[in-house]
Amino acid sequence: MEHRRVLLAGDAAWCLNLFSGMGTTAALRGGAELGRVLAEHPNDLPAALAGWEARLRPFITKHQRMARLKHQWFVPTNRALTGVRTLVLHLAVNARRAVTEARLLRAAVPAASGARGGAASP
């Protein structure tokens, strides 16, 4: 009996652009699914590849669509979307700023009272 080994490498089976944020996840999921279908169809490569495509296609299609939406966040295609992005970023920055300022004030109060409590009275 002869054993042959094959190595498949790459991530070009589907196109998730940089805005998807899912490239590594897709590569890992694709590799895991490929291993499963090859084990399920050890002597039928066309059936294995058809099964691989059928299992991955919904996941890939979903994330390709989401990538188009995420693209609008990074590179808006019109003024309205630019305005929405600017507003959301402004709100997020201000919300985070308020949280950070509150945290700093809480941290400063015990330090200030501790410094006064430990000082000698005149």
pLDDT more than 90, % of the chain: 24
Enter the tokens of residue 53. Answer: 């495509």
Whether 15 has a pLDDT exceeding 50, the answer reads yes
Whether 21 has a pLDDT exceeding 80, the answer reads no
pLDDT at position 95 is 85
Whether 122 has a pLDDT exceeding 60, the answer reads no
What is the Cα–Cα distance from 50 to 72, expressed in whole angstroms?
33
Distances (CA, A) of 111 to 57, 83, 99: 57, 42, 19
The predicted-structure confidence for 23-74, as pLDDT tens digits, reads as follows 788 888 888 999 999 999 999 999 999 999 999 999 888 888 888 778 888 8
Q: What is the 3-state secondary structure (H, E, C) of the chain?
A: CCCCCCCCCCCCCCCCCCCCCCHHHHHHHHHHHHHHHHHHCCCCHHHHHHHHHHHHHHHHHHHHHHHHHHHHHHCCCCHHHHHHHHHHHHHHHHHHHHHHHHHHHHHHHHHHHHHHHCCCCC
Mean pLDDT of the region 78-99: 89
